[in-house]
Amino acid sequence: MDLSCRRLLFLVVLAFALSSKGYSQPLVPAIITFGDSAVDVGNNNYIPTLFKANYPPYGKDFVNHQPTGRFCNGKLVTDFTADTLQFTNYAPPYLSPQASGKNLLIGANFASAGAGYDDQTSIINHAIPLSKQLQYYKEYQSKLAKVSGTKQSASIIQDAIYILGAGSGDFLQNYYVNPLLNKAYTPQQYSSILVSTFSSFIKTMYSLGARKFGVTSLPPLGCLPAARTLFGFHEKGCVSGINTVAQQFNKKLNSSAVSLQKQLPGLRLVIFDIFQPLYDLVKNPSAQGFVEATRGCCGTGTIETTIFLCNPHSPGTCSNASQYVFWDSVHPSQAANQVLADALIVAGLALI
């Protein structure tokens, strides 16, 4: 099914849902997000880490052209998801002053750039570990109950959509650059460790009342410009070995999701495949109106990310990021995020 058909199908379902719920309300009460830089909307602005995106040129195509801490020139996939679900505001980063009072009713974002399933990945990058994100979520539940009352809070917790996006940093910022780790474990063994952590996280969240999860797969890690630069070793195109590892991880993730849904009554767990749509964009960018898919827009686009070379002084940053699949050497552009969001529409219907 191509993207135009996906959009049409979703619009039909959306129209039906809106007619039954009223046009003034989002399709779900809240969106609650965990993970890494792919979904961080600004938590790292409030912790001592180099992994920040709260300065230009990040955010140059976002609302009011303001950098917010999103690792993109504009919107993330999760922002487009919130738009589609009829939210008029985005759930705030939990560490921000905005995460208080009635703002908590539409959810919160606990993600942290540099985090991973493996807490050691987060520690290396001075990010918020997934275990700490979980602690913050428990705090959030208490705050939500004070704002909305126990009954409404329980309803929000049960009906909210929970998004989890992690794993890329575990491989590119930990496993492949840590000789102690990659000598101790094969990629398959390390994948199993990460998936075990994922499974434990879902079970804990389930015990806390969460029921609807959208979890992103690994992208084609070997196609990220930074991976080509650091691990390509003159290989033309994507780094095939790293892509294979990502696909093997995704297979384990899908198997775990099936198992969890058998174990936990009422659990709805969708694995969003971002590997294939992003791989297709890289291999045939012109089919979706892109011009460049081998490097990012910011600077040379081969190694830049965060303060490391993608900053207000980066030379050569492109003038039109919508022509680029990647914004920096790791993260997709807003235009690519829109394509990815469209590709996930049908799978996401299961969570509404």
Which residues are tagged catalytic? 37, 328, 331
Q: Which residue has the tokens 């099914």?
A: 1
Query: ω into residue 179 within 30 of 0, thus cis?
Result: no
Q: 34 phi and psi, to 5 degrees?
A: -130, 155
Residue pair 311/58 in contact (Cβ under 8 Å)? The answer is no
- The Cα–Cα gap between 159 and 212 comes to 7
Q: Which of 157, 261, 115 is nearest to 202 (CA)?
A: 261
DSSP state of 159: H
DSSP state of 20: H
- The Cα–Cα gap between 351 and 28 comes to 9
For the chain, what's the residue count?
352
With 0-12 / 13-18 / 19 or more C-beta atoms within 10 angstroms meaning exposed / middle / buried, residue 322 is middle
What separation, in Å, do the N-terminal and C-terminal C-alpha atoms of the chain show? 20
